[in-house]
Structure 1
């Protein structure tokens, strides 16, 4: 399908990326799933080929291209498997905070190694007792001379095991009214005193994508590692969540497209009662219903991506897309497994993995219930 925001240059880029992934990723993906980790060597190869942080300015090692190249990267990674989302998080969620709010010194210190794949990043918002309610996070940071003393615990952190650089949402002002005015962002480097990793979490799906607990006990963070200004953390988070949720929508859309194609291929070859199961009316109706939802989702998504690249504020529509496209993907996973019959429940069939990996998209980056709350508010309800 042709995307309205892509041209011939993007298609050449896509072909190069697909060729790279076919050689360096696809043959090893199931092994990584079994080992529960994507090797750092793959990150470095991605960096060497220019597939990390392509929109970072050339002065810091990037290609300085527009965000449409990141869309291509996210689409092709999802076609291999959902556990590669940590790369999208690095490219399009964490690094943009540094590009947008970092000082010149911070950018020169961190961005080149992030672009090269030598430094893997994460962002730490969620806590054991706090998910969507960011204003009530309990992690605190107190300025003591030249350092912040950071204390708290984070959980469900994507790239948590590999991360060399973690942007931590914390409270620097406990008396702030309203509460969210007390939030700041600190960048914690891997060898920082007082920073440790807890459990590598064992998830239902996304097996090779490392997810961990992070612990900060009197963690000594240099005051130079404050990202932006004190008390502006909540504002920064809100400004960047549009792109984060758009990435989730992109992944959900591509997952739906891939699951449908897998299922169409299967029902055309599988026979029952003397004919292909694709010839049964029930199968045809199920396929038609999914294909229609997916086609409508693609049209809406492409429009949003084009508007986002143009710099438009599309928070309401992105919230709609994140909710609806992840819900469609979850439904598609269920229907496609059913159409695979007993084979769909076997790990050797990709649909089984997709069935495990898909549901969490309706939870992370803000639950779908939160998306509906945002939409309702912005509709003036």
Structure 2
């Protein structure tokens, strides 16, 4: 068993860390405060090959493995979770096209993501259907050689800046099996009847774009169907194994960034005539923060490995990694604020932003409670 990164993977980590330090950290507070999408940083990320790097080389990507993508994500989020999410999610939903799309769909929709020409998203959640994907009510009906889509999607990453979305729709409402009545359909944002309303006032990840989508008789050609009709729910479940691993990597990055800042502050801050890092209470906090982060990293990397290896326990590991790393992120960010004291409660220091940003990792891509349900279900062998 080899826990060491390859020379190429270590070089990737260092390269992304330098990019994050130079391009993200100086502007992170500005983009968070103004809740604006970092187009300039996205352009720089495209030049570095950091957008949708998991896309195969033949479609313009770098072809990174899930593990390498996790390493990249960790470093971006250690610099700033908000801008990190913008970069990491530029190709959100591409996994469905890569796994189930036609050659024509891959050639049309994947290359623009890696070049920075386009941004995409995955539209699953609705105002009344979050963790319960099988309750999605957005309807797609065939009309000749077109799909006509009506419905609302909520909390959609890249919603008001995206150029196209993979949308989960109900296509066969009368089937007896509740899981085979859904399909995924690609919808371009310039279609008539498509509108997006940006959501502001979020607790964290404010640089990342989040929106509500309204689909009002949106028409797309039948060839926009992704994979087999009626298999959308099962496609999404496979998609979650990858995206939950990605969220785990986000959590590791947040914990890493918060812990590093807490360590630096503890060494600089003086109380009672000496550095607060000399106090045992602070030392114990730092020891616990770094230990938890390392444990979360190990579980996340194993989950990434299981995705790449198509392991039988990938679903269990992905949910374990997501649940644990997100919990570590919130706990470590909390302790980082505590170590900063009053200084951590204002935006002069990054830890307050990390504290706000961390919480979302326990919510999106399936809440903490859903992850525990999945883990227990897999352990008990109940299946779907």
Query: Aligning the two structures, in what range does the TM-score lie when normalised by the shorter sequence?
Result: over 0.9
Deviations 1:257-302 (A, max 9, x none): 2211211111222122222222222222222222322232223223
When normalised by structure 2's length, the TM-score is 0.93
CA contact (8 A) 2:73 2:253 kept: no
Flag as ranges the 4+ runs of structure 1 deviating above 6 A. Answer: none
Note if 1:192 corresponds to 2:195: no
Kindly state the Cα deviation for residue 65 of structure 1 after the two structures are TM-superposed: 4.1
1:46-85 matches, cutoff 5 A: 46-83=45-82, 84-85=84-85
Number of residue-to-residue matches in the alignment? 378
Cα separation, partners in 2 of 1:346 and 1:111, compared to 1, 3 Å: same
Work out the CA distance in 2 between the residues paired with 1:210 and 1:164: 13
Q: Which residue in 1 is equivalent to 2:155?
A: 156
Aligned equivalents of 1:144 and 1:272: distance in 2?
Answer: 72
| 1:331 paired to 2:323 | no
- Structure 1 residue 318 displacement after superposition: 1.7
**Structure 2 alignment gaps of length 5 or more:** none
Secondary structure at 1:56 match in 2 = coil
Does structure 2 retain, via aligned residues, the 8 Å contact 1:161–1:200? Answer: no
- Deviation by residue 1:296-327 (Cα, 9 ceiling, x = unmatched): 22232233322322221321122111111111
Q: How does 1:1-381 map to 2 (within 5 A)?
A: 4=3, 6-83=5-82, 84-91=84-91, 93-313=92-312, 314-380=314-380
Cα distance in 1 for partners of 2:30, 2:122 equals: 26
Question: What is the aligned-residue RMSD (CA, Å)?
Answer: 1.8
Could you tell me whether the CA contact under 8 Å between 2:320 and 2:375 is conserved in 1? yes
Please state whether the residue corresponding to 2:179 is helix, strand or coil: helix
Structure 1: segments with no counterpart, 5+ residues = none
SS of residue matched to 1:43: helix
Taking the aligned partners of 1:277 and 1:113, their CA distance within structure 2 comes to: 50
- Alpha-carbon shift at residue 37 of structure 1 (Å): 1.9
Q: d(CA) in 2 for partners of 1:65 and 1:333?
A: 29
When the two structures are superposed, what TM-score results if normalisation uses the length of structure 1? 0.94
CA apart distance, 1:355? 0.9
User: Structure 1's 316 and 265: CA in aligned 2 closer, same or farther, altered over 3 A?
Assistant: same
For residue 161 of structure 1, give the secondary structure of its aligned residue in structure 2. Answer: coil
CA–CA distance in structure 2, aligned partners of residues 280 and 23 of structure 1: 33
